[in-house]
Amino acid sequence: MSNEHNSNAIKINNLFFYQEGKPSNVFKQIDIYSFSLYCYFLIRQGQNKNVETSIKTIYESTKIAIKKTLIDHLLTLNKKKMIKIHNLEEGKKLKYNQTLFVTVNNKVSNIDSKYFLMNTNLFIDTIQTIKSYGWSLLCLLSMLHNYTYATVNWSFGYANPSIRGMADTLNIGETTVKKYIDILNKQKLIQVINQEPNYIGDNEFENFNNHYIVQNRIPGNKYYLDTFNKLIDSAREKQHSALADISYV
């Protein structure tokens, strides 16, 4: 993927979710609210050196968390060195209307690391509706949306994690995952394709993970980024190559 700047996108490190093919422990350290807040700062900072904001501004524009806990999440991100609050004074509490000068830690979002892109307008337009749980799930599904899974019915692929897998990765309950998957589906941000169990005999069934078509990964969607064209082309080249190999055999 090109390193060129896309003003409509933020880069989110894959390591927030997976490390060496397994769920990372990031969400055990910062939780989904802090992750959404981190995304907010990525968007606000853009190509600038820092962000000038306040707890009031963050709350009114995102409703990521209630006013009181927003302070806790800010301090968590600062403590984990994911952001730096430059005017944080030891022993003094952050005030609701206080102007904050914040810089996102470039090491976390280093463009040389493996990352995926999310449309900034997607966050801005939906965060108050889908909340931090929905945003974190949407990011996870967007990262997992695989164009090589393309079929006749789903020409641009899908994601197919298990409910348990999503819950473990985000460090939340399975019931919560199901609730916000339903919200994302109703908001038409994803399409859920239910997979029926396969009867294998002796009253036993083989269960399959549902397929999730992530709409911001589909050409024509208003949150689609043209950068994804390269991923689609690459996936199709792999498919053609695989078919050619089968024909050769």
Find tokens 């108050």 and name the residue: 128
Greatest mean pLDDT among 96-100, 113-117, 186-190: 186-190
**pTM higher than 0.75 for the full model?**
yes
How far is Cα of residue 217 from the mean position of the Cα atoms in its chain? 12
What stretches of the chain adopt beta strand conformation (E)?
9-13, 18-19, 22-23, 51-53, 83-85, 100-104, 115-119, 190-193, 198-201, 204-206, 211-214
119 found inside a domain: no
d(CA 167, CA 137) in angstroms, rounded, equals 9
Q: Are residues 91 and 143 both part of a single domain?
A: no
Q: How confident is the model at residue 91 (pLDDT cuts 50, 70, 90)?
A: confident
Q: Are residues 194 and 240 both part of a single domain?
A: yes
Residues shown for the chain: 249
Q: Are residues 188 and 145 both part of a single domain?
A: yes
The torsion angle over the Cα atoms of residues 216, 218, 224 and 230, rounded to 10 degrees, is 130
Q: How many helices (H) and strands (E) does the chain have?
A: 8, 11
Percent helix, percent strand, percent coil in the chain, to nearest 5? 45, 15, 35
Q: Are residues 141 and 216 both part of a single domain?
A: yes
- In this model, does residue 3 exceed pLDDT 50? no
Q: Write down the pLDDT at residue 48.
A: 87
What is the number of domains present in the chain? 2
Q: Write down the pLDDT at residue 248.
A: 43
**Domain with 38 in it:** 9-104
Give percent above pLDDT 70 in the chain.
Answer: 85
Q: Write down the pLDDT at residue 168.
A: 95
Q: Are residues 23 and 62 both part of a single domain?
A: yes
Q: Are residues 98 and 141 both part of a single domain?
A: no
Q: Are residues 84 and 166 both part of a single domain?
A: no
Q: Are residues 226 and 134 both part of a single domain?
A: yes
Summarize the confidence of residues 64-84 as an average pLDDT. 92
